[in-house]
A and B are shown apart, each in its own frame.
Chain A
Amino acid sequence: MHAAQILVNAVVLGCLYACIAIGFSLVWGVLNVINLIHGSFIVLGAYLAFGLYNALHISPWYSVAVAAPLFFVLGYLLQRLLLNRVITAPVLVTLTLTFGLDLILNNAMIYFFKADYRKLMLTPSLGSVSIFDVVVPVDRLIATVSALALTGVLYLLLRRSRVGRAIVAVRLDRDAAVLMGVDVKSIYAIAFGLGAALAGCAGVLMALIFPISPLTSSGYLGKAFVVCVLGGLGSVSGALAGGLLLALVEGIGSTFFGPAHATTLSFILLIIFLILRPQGLLGRKGFE
């Protein structure tokens, strides 16, 4: 029964990791930008959920609807006004730019919200459900289902909508997409906006489970990075696979080697993947 509990914990955590990583993966895959501001977007989303709940008593699952458009606009403008100017420069330039932007946003959050840990406490608390002896906390369950729903929406968007097809086209071959009449700059901005929206929504959902502080942003960014490398860039299914693999390794590693070594194990796995399978679990070779 203990094994079942570990498995359930890992699946739940894996979906949350996928949710953290998917926006990051989209931006990296489509724009070839390693977006270092992603972690801070997640934290900002968490503060939004915290603020809305404490001030207006809006539950976090409704706050997703507020966060998505807000962060989309923020990301869209950021790409249009700043990142598009250096998008064709070597990857180090965009990396430095997003690093700088992250420093600004993170320090602004420390300034306005302080670095103290806050916790969104739902009243009454949601409790847990147990099937046989396997226990799942309801807040994690809601976050997991919402995370899956978000990834589903993104999947449909990329598959079925015109904009989505254009994003995929730009991802596959930028020059060919231009020749087909795709407005690449606008697609870049939309993709970055979507990435930001997903980060904001992930933050809202994480607020249900984890404490909120600007200091947690690097932790989220690190997880997103590992998930992308494990799962493969730019694809929805890759992020899910990477998230699940990471959570499983952490869960099993924590059980057999102790929780202090869970992170070490996940980074060893990252190195192994970088050497042996740099395209990730579901990525295509040569595309990375």
Chain B
Amino acid sequence: MSKSWVARYAHLAAPLWAVVGCGALASNASAEDVIRFGAPLPITGPLAPEAVKQQQGYDLWAEEANKAGGISVGGKKYKVEIVYADYQSNTPRAVQATEQMITQGNVNFMFGAFGSGAAKAASTVSEKYKVPTLAATASSVQVYDQGYKYLFGTFTPNDTLTTPLTQIIKAKVPEVKKVAILARNDLFPLAIAQEMEKSAKASGFEVVYFEKYAIGTLDHSAALSQIKSLAPQWVFITGYINDLLLVRKQMVDQEMKAPVVTMIAGPAYQEFIESGGPTAENITSASWWHPAERYEGKDIFGSTENFVKLFKAKYKSEPDYGQASAALCGALFQMAIEKAGSLDRDKVRDELAKLDVVTFFGPVKFGPNGQINSLDPPVFQIQGAKPVVLFPDAIKQGDLKVGVN
């Protein structure tokens, strides 16, 4: 009885197998002239807004590269294909997704997972399989001090953000004496908070509060009440955009005011400004790139202006550092592959390590640990619902305004 049942279904399934087989053959045939880039991203979950940005950056680069005929490897043009996997804002799944892409997804090269924590975790896999990986959004030194050969990142170390920020506040707001720091207990947000503590102490500020909050915390009222009672003139809060919007709302609920409020990383995003509304005004922040920069690059985008123009045409919005860094990673891969003249992973890796080039994002050169060491990240403030650059002087758009209500 059961035999005939199985036999009947096997018979029915035969045409299906044929179709699947043809599909596999077809994709094998087309895989010949395509370069596949794996991109594990937190497309759903609390980090989803960040993933969308990276995706936009990768897609814009892939579109531009394919418009120009593709990546040229030893005289032959290869189309770019980006393979996405959603790891649902869950770091262990990012590691699984990376392994799956490399072992089963036939990807040639990898983009890193989002943020320092997940990028570090996933890099162990790509290192094991010797797949060159460009991390678009990992800045913490802890990602790069593992002695890995195949991992490169386009964000400068965290202290390059906190040091100029502290110097500006020290010079412009003499009433700032006490600093309170509240950090998301996660690799990047905590690392940058620790850098901030160092920078603040080095500038002679007193750090009156330094605490971490757990990932997924919904109620910050106890921590905020305590900060308020200490009356710091500078409140420094780290986390990702959802955390920061929540903290900001609860600050307003508690009627917390301070001459300076800094939040990293989130205020560079248009959504922060839109969701925060008037409460986003005068929040200071720092990031790794700003559309006001003016670089003439040798990459596929050419200049910062051209990148911003292309981005606006495709997405009808202003690009921020997340999108720009993702697009840059694509452009860097393209340059390295074209220089190597081969899809050999080791050759491409060596070309990435040797890169010393100006791009629309700024000058790009990786240090011996794989982290970029050639950028001057901008400090900015939300003024009139727009991010206004305060530093570096070359691209300065306005002066620091004091007072966050």
Contact A260 B211, beta carbon cutoff 8 Å: yes
B44 contacts A135, C-beta separation under 8 Å? no
The answer on a CB contact under 8 Å between B216 and A219 is yes
Q: Report B-chain residues with C-beta under 8 Å of the C-beta of A114.
A: 44, 48
Cα–Cα distance between A117 and B212 once the two chains are bound (Å): 21
A211 to B245, CA, bound (A): 10
Within 8 A of A (CB), among B278-326: none
For residue A142, CB closer than 8 A to chain B, the reply is: no
* Residues 3-24 (chain A) with a chain B CB within 8 angstroms: 5-6, 9-10, 13
Complex alpha-carbon distance, A255 and B49, angstroms: 31
Closest to A263 in B: B214
Contact B220 A259 (CB under 8 A): yes
Chain B, residues 46-90, CB within 8 Å of chain A (1/0): the string is 101100000000000000000000000000000000000000110
A128 at the interface (CB under 8 A from B): yes
Contact with A along B201-235 (1 / 0, CB 8 A): 00000000001111011111111011011000000
From B45, B185, B214, B225, residue with most partner A Cβ within 10 Å = B225
In the assembled complex, the Cα of A6 lies from the Cα of B275 at a distance in Å of 28
Q: Which residues of B contact A175 (CB under 8 A)?
A: none
CB distance from B185 to the nearest CB of A (A): 5
Contact residue among A5, A115, A216, A219 (Cβ-Cβ distance under 8 Å from B225): A5
Q: Is B393 in contact with chain A by the CB < 8 A criterion?
A: no
Among B44, B185, B218, the residue within 8 A (CB) of A219 is: B218
Closest to A255 in B: B226
Closest Cβ of chain B to A224, distance in Å, is: 14
Pairwise interchain contact A250-B218, C-beta atoms closer than 8 A:
no
Q: Check: B32 CB closer than 8 A to any chain A CB.
A: no
User: Looking at the complex, which one of B229, B245, B252 makes contact with A2 (CB distance below 8 Å)?
Assistant: B229
Contact A2/B225 with A135-B254, A215-B45 known, Cβ cut-off 8 Å: yes
Per-residue B-contact encoding for A112-125, CB less than 8 Å = 1, 0 else:
00111101010000
Instruction: Looking at the assembled complex, report how far the CB atom of A4 sits from the nearest CB atom of chain B, in whole angstroms.
Output: 10
Tell whether A211 pairs with B253 under 8 Å between CB atoms, given A13-B221, A115-B45, A116-B44: no
Contact B253 A254, beta carbon cutoff 8 Å: no
State whether A262 touches B44 (Cβ < 8 A): no
Residues of chain B contacted by A250 (CB below 8 angstroms): 219, 222
The closest CB in chain B to the CB of A252 belongs to B222
Chain A residue nearest to B90 in the complex (CB): A215
User: B interface, how many residues as a size bin?
Assistant: 35 or more
Question: Which residues of B (162-219) have their CB < 8 Å from a CB of A?
Answer: 182, 185, 211-214, 216-219
Q: Are A119 and B275 in contact (CB under 8 A)?
A: yes
- Cα–Cα, bound, A283→B242 (Å): 39
- The size class of the interface chain A forms with chain B is 35 or more
In-complex Cβ contact of A140 among B45, B88, B226, B253 (8 A): B253
Q: What is the minimal beta-carbon distance from A265 to any residue of chain B, in angstroms?
A: 12
Specify which of B88, B89, B218 lies most central, judged by the most chain A CB atoms within 10 Å of its CB: B218
Name the one of B45, B182, B253 contacting A137, with C-beta atoms under 8 angstroms: B253
Tell me if A273 counts as interface (CB < 8 A to partner B).
no
Minimum C-beta distance from B214 to chain A (A): 5
Across the interface, B222 reaches (CB within 8 A) one of A6, A119, A121, A135, namely A6
Check A216 against B49 for contact (C-beta < 8 Å): no
* Other-chain contact of B214, A128, A137, A213, A259 (Cβ < 8 Å): A259
Indicate if the CB atoms of A5 and B229 lie closer than 8 Å.
yes
Decide if B357 is an interface residue (CB 8 Å cutoff).
Answer: no
Chain A, 134-175, CB within 8 A of any chain B CB: 135, 137, 139-140
Q: Hey, which chain B residues are within 8 Å of A238, CB to CB?
A: none
CB pair B222–A211 under 8 Å, yes or no, is: no
CA gap between A115 and B49 in the complex, in Å? 11
A128-B254, A130-B255, A135-B253 as given contacts; A110 in contact with B44, CB under 8 Å? yes
| A1 in contact (CB, < 8 A) | yes
Q: A residues 233-275 with Cβ under 8 Å of B?
A: 250-251, 254-255, 258-260, 262-263
Q: Is the CB of B254 within 8 A of A137?
A: yes
Chain A contacts of B249 at CB under 8 A? Answer: 119
Closest CB of chain A to B249's CB: distance in Å?
A: 8
Which residues on B sit within 8 Å (CB–CB) of A61? none
Contacts of A128 in B (CB 8 A): 252-255
Which residues of B lie under 8 Å from residue A137 when comparing CB positions? 250, 253-254
Q: Which residues of A contact B252 (CB under 8 A)?
A: 128
A114 to B43, CA, bound (A): 10
Contacts of B45 in A (CB 8 A): 115-116, 213, 215
User: B225 near A6 (CB under 8 angstroms)?
Assistant: yes
How many angstroms between the C-alpha atoms of A135 and B255 in the bound complex? 7
A255-B225, A260-B212 given; 13 more Cβ-contact pairs under 8 Å: A5-B229, A13-B219, A114-B44, A116-B48, A117-B242, A137-B250, A211-B218, A213-B46, A216-B218, A250-B219, A251-B221, A259-B217, A259-B223
Nearest first, the 4 A-B pairs at minimum CB distance are A137-B253, A115-B44, A2-B229, A254-B222
Chain B residues within CB distance 8 Å of chain A: 44-46, 48-49, 88-89, 182, 185, 211-214, 216-223, 225-226, 228-229, 242, 245-246, 249-250, 252-255, 275
29 contacts between A and B (CB under 8 A): A1-B229, A2-B228, A5-B229, A9-B225, A10-B222, A114-B48, A115-B45, A115-B89, A121-B275, A130-B255, A135-B253, A137-B253, A140-B253, A215-B45, A219-B216, A250-B219, A251-B222, A254-B222, A255-B222, A255-B226, A258-B211, A259-B211, A259-B212, A259-B213, A259-B214, A259-B220, A259-B222, A260-B213, A260-B214
Enumerate chain A interface residues (CB-CB to B < 8 A).
1-2, 5-6, 9-10, 13, 110, 114-117, 119, 121, 128, 130, 135, 137, 139-140, 210-211, 213, 215-216, 219, 250-251, 254-255, 258-260, 262-263
